[in-house]
Amino acid sequence: EHTIYLKDYAPSPYRIVSVDLDFRILAENTTVTTQLTIEPRDDTAPGTPLVLDGDELSLTSIAIDGAPLVLSAYLAEPNSLTVFEPPLRRFVLETEVVLQPENNTPLMGLYRSSGTWCTQCEPEGFRRITYYMDRPDILATFNVRMTAPRDLAPVLLANGNLVDRGDAGDGMHFAVWQDPFPKPSYLFALVAGDLGAITDTFTTASGRKVDLAIYCTHGKEDQCYWAMDSLKRSMAWDEKRFGLEYDLDIFNIVAVSDFNFGAMENKGLNIFNDKLVFAHPDTATDGDYEGIERVIAHEYFHNWTGNRITCRDWFQLCLKEGLTVYRDQEFTSDERSRAVKRIGDVVGLRGAQFAEDGGPLAHPARPDEYREINNFYTATVYEKGAEIVRMLATLLGEAGFRKGMDLYFERHDGEATTIEAFLNVFGEANGTNLDQFKTWYLQAGTPRLTVEDNYDAANQTYTLKLKQETLPTPGQPTKAALVVPIKFGLIGPNGSPMEWSGVSGAEVRDEMIVLNTDAAEVTFTGVANRPVPSLLREFSAPVNMTTNLTQDDQLFLARHDNDPFNRWQALQDVGMALALSATKGTPWSDNAVAALSEAMADTLASDTLDDAFKALSLTIPAEYQIAQNLGSDVDPVRVHEVRSELLKAIFAPLAIQLLQAYRGLASDQPYAPDAKSNGHRALRNRLLGLLVASDAPGAANLAAEQYETARNMTDRLAALGASAYAWTEKAPVLLADFKIRFGGDPLVLDKWLAVTAAVPEDGVIERIRTILADPTFPKTNPNRLRSLMGVFAMSNPTQFTRADGAGFRFVAEFVAEIDKINPQVAARVLTGFRIWPMLEPKRREAAKSVLTTLQSGGSLSRNTADILTRMLA
Ligand code: HT7
Ligand code: ZN
């Protein structure tokens, strides 16, 4: 398979100026007639062939300026169309293809989801609709006419503004949509179906009245109001924070049931996976509400960061994704709790991105080669991309960052551009050089930051020895030093911030050390006592930090740090140290556990900390986190056992306090999605989880009782999850009940599938097999497949990595089967194997042999073959 390299980028010899698309949608097929207004660039040599992309297309007619082409003038293949000698002037190329949306199970291009015709074009789906230069640096205006049976598709939508509609005879009707903004083909969208809707309006700061609508399956309208509320708040926030207004008179969102991703930012017509639209307290959890708010905001924010300014090529994907994730994180932080949001994001970053960066699929946030671009919608591009933008904001300060953003829009609006252009505007607006900073985009791997402190009482100096190191990753044997912003504070013995009179050894400003060399020694003078350092506050850089701080130091930070992130981190670090040493064979001391237990009790009892923060603090690092820190020869069963024992050792002695606190948090309030009510439920459910996990007397019954009496899905699912994970006596009955109560609602069924798939118990594979073998299980729906098999491969480490290889074989068989239906889903599930090199030898061999067998079976999609090749390299 051929590899695409960033260094080979070249502009196309022809431009597409405008596009006229005519869709004739029928129940049995869809005919697409396309008129492309094309012109050669100034330097295009006569006789340069015009090459258009296709994917499984078959051409039924072709003409230039109205004259059909003779056979020898062109070559039409399923994946390309070449016109050998196009005119060396502006011309119109007309083509016609016939599509079968019904059979489009990969869900790229034009497909049908529960009867609705819809499209997904990013990154390379437009070439499955018509022959085109399907690359993001071709910006054209689109004019779309669609004709469809009125009964099957009373609603006809596309990008931009509706300019005409009417009857087309024979039970058909038509609509014409025009998008005035030139756009790349990946932002094209069309929807035709029998849909309900809710509507609203938003008036922008400059007075433009925008009609808003969310379209959905009939009967689900009442579940769309939270999404609408989130949209309006997003629109207002982008005006206030970045001065960015919406630019069309219409903004439509459509919820569909079959979708490969979360959502898509098509210009003026966002298409969403319905799980990121529908919300009702009885069926959606707090996590779902927050996810909807976040993704609605994310797609809306793309209108400027992605659509108005887009990517020159797909290597620049994190130009729009990293920046837009940063923007949605800031939105959530402003709308909810900044500290809680940051902790949640860092947990996610470590779980997904650090794991990716430390394994065979590691790649830079801006990769320089790919075989299948769909495999690069990764945690590295999205989440590390957002961390890089966050570091930029940290280094430049809020005002400096805003200056850079303003210049970015001023200079690049309407362009398809690059990471270099993005960094240049920040450098220029702030009079600074970001050449070294750029390495963050180019270099894969999570840097290790080591800090050792030393206090010299005689001289009243305090020294921090800092070192950074990034281990080799695939294709990058050596690494350069990065610019690492380390926010910090020094805390005195009485718990308040400590001053110093001078500092040397590195750039230190705004309570931040800027480390830009492999090593540095930062010395503070005039330090009266040995401080405890609070380092990497707010997690100011995406690194793995180790320090020489003692458990006492950490517990001191947990009580006194005024950076809430580091207060949380300190408790987690203590838990991690105990878990790691026990996994490696050194049992924890009773005193050490008792001290952590006491700190947890104090956290719970605090009058100043809020509930959501307490909920996040009252735990120890997850199994995947412990495994990641071990790094090699991991036995997931051992990790699971150690973690369970440690949880019991810390929390069983607190059973009475936990139960009292649980009882003290009322559960009879009507559901409200705000952050405070959410925190209240999070803490109560955390306490229940801890009681169950630490085997407290009566805890299993308490969980069953909460399950039965719950007044919302958040509380019910928490009780079910805790019971199932601990596989209490009641778990099978509760699971069966949940299926009966909610199995008819596909999105709630997903929760049941996910809980079932995550149970760390030997019967799980058999139970999943039975579910998959049910002929009514929809193997074409990504949400169902991911809830079941994605969760098994990613979130059930003990069963997926069973020493007998049964878990590996099970996932590989699934991947081989689903690859024929939907390669993107298959490739994603397969990435669960990325942990294989760090397993202990027996499991490592078992995984490798399963992967090798899958590879030698051949006939895999490019998506799946690419992941396999990289994983086995
Ligand atoms: N920009 C969107 C990416 C996307 C996507 C990618 C591959 C296959 C299907 C897809 N659907 C949406 C999502 C986003 O980041 O906003
Ligand atoms: Zn995005």
Classify domain 747-873 by CATH number.
Answer: 1.25.50.10
Buried b (16+ CB within 10 A) or exposed e, 729-752: ebbeebbeebbeebeeebbbbbbb
272: Cβ below 6 Å to ligand 1?
A: no
Encoded amino acid at 860, one letter: L
377: Cβ below 6 Å to ligand 1?
A: yes
Q: Which ligand is nearest to the CA of 259?
A: 1
Token pair 């009882």 is found at 663
Work out which ligand 1 atom sits closest to the CA atom of 107. Answer: 9
Work out which ligand 1 atom sits closest to the CA atom of 302. Answer: 16
pLDDT at 1: 64
Work out which ligand 1 atom sits closest to the CA atom of 377. Answer: 6
Residue limits of CATH 1.25.50.10 in the chain: 548-697, 747-873
261 CA to centre of ligand 1 in angstroms = 6
Residue limits of CATH 2.60.40.1840 in the chain: 448-541
Q: Which of 110, 112, 130 is nearest to 120 (CA)?
A: 110
383: Cβ below 6 Å to ligand 1?
A: no
260: Cβ below 6 Å to ligand 1?
A: yes
Q: Which ligand is nearest to the CA of 823?
A: 1
> Could you give phi then psi for residue 13, rounded to 5 degrees?
-70, -20
Q: Which of 135, 138, 54, 139 is nearest to 98 (CA)?
A: 54
Q: Which of 371, 251, 516 is nearest to 1 (CA)?
A: 371
Would you list the DSSP string of 454-505? EEETTTTEEEEEEEEE---BTTB-S-PPP-EEEEEEEE-TTSSB---SEEES
Q: Which residues surround ligand 2, an ion (CB under 5 A)?
A: 321, 324
pLDDT at 246: 98
Tell which one of 105, 122, 275, 824 to mutate to probe ligand 1, the residue whose CB is within 8 A of the most ligand atoms.
Answer: 122
330: Cβ below 6 Å to ligand 1?
A: no
Q: Which residues pair with 469 in a beta bridge?
A: 448
261: Cβ below 6 Å to ligand 1?
A: yes
Q: Residue 498 is encoded by which pair of tokens?
A: 């400590």
Q: Residue 444 is encoded by which pair of tokens?
A: 């894969």
Token pair 């949380």 is found at 568
Q: Residue 104 is encoded by which pair of tokens?
A: 């489009």
**Nearest residue by C-alpha to atom 1 in ligand 1:** 264
Residue limits of CATH 1.10.390.10 in the chain: 310-442
Q: How many CB atoms sit inside 10 A of residue 44's CB?
A: 17
Q: Which residues pair with 191 in a beta bridge?
A: 118, 157
Encoded amino acid at 663, one letter: R
**Nearest residue by C-alpha to atom 2 in ligand 1:** 264
Residues 166, 167, 171, 173: is their CA dihedral positive or negative? Answer: negative
101 CA to centre of ligand 1 in angstroms = 19
**Backbone region of residue 695 per phi and psi (left: phi > 0; alpha: psi in -120 to 50; beta: other values):** left
Give yes or no for a cis peptide into 49 (omega within 30° of 0).
Answer: no
Is 503 in contact with 522 (CB distance < 8 Å)? yes
Q: Please name the CATH architecture into which domain 310-442 falls.
A: Orthogonal Bundle (1.10)
Superfamily of the domain at 448-541: Aminopeptidase N, middle-beta domain (2.60.40.1840)
**Nearest residue by C-alpha to atom 11 in ligand 1:** 261
Enumerate residues 6+ apart whose C-beta is below 8 A from 2.
371
pLDDT at 669: 87
Tell which one of 253, 270, 377, 380 to mutate to probe ligand 1, the residue whose CB is within 8 A of the most ligand atoms.
Answer: 377
Give yes or no for a cis peptide into 123 (omega within 30° of 0).
Answer: yes
Fold category of 4-194 in CATH: Immunoglobulin-like (2.60.40)
| Residues of the chain scoring pLDDT < 70 | 1
pLDDT at 113: 98
258: Cβ below 6 Å to ligand 1?
A: no
Instruction: Return the SS3 of 655.
Output: helix
Residue limits of CATH 2.60.40.1730 in the chain: 4-194
264: Cβ below 6 Å to ligand 1?
A: yes
DSSP 43: T
Which ipTM was obtained for this model?
Answer: 0.98
Token pair 């002695």 is found at 653
**Nearest residue by C-alpha to atom 3 in ligand 1:** 264
Tell which one of 261, 318, 380 to mutate to probe ligand 1, the residue whose CB is within 8 A of the most ligand atoms.
Answer: 261
- The whole-angstrom separation of Cα 430 and Cα 643 is 48
374: Cβ below 6 Å to ligand 1?
A: yes
Query: Hey, which bits of 760-820 come out as E strands?
Result: none
Helices (runs of H) and strands (runs of E) counted in the chain:
29, 33
Read off the pTM: 0.98
Largest Cα separation within the chain, whole Å, is: 95
Q: Which ligand is nearest to the CA of 122?
A: 1
Q: Please name the CATH architecture into which domain 548-697 falls.
A: Alpha Horseshoe (1.25)
Active site positions, annotated? 299
321: Cβ below 6 Å to ligand 1?
A: yes
Q: Which ligand is nearest to the CA of 189?
A: 1
pLDDT tens digits, one per residue of 482-494: 999 999 999 999 9
Is 412 in contact with 418 (CB distance < 8 Å)? no
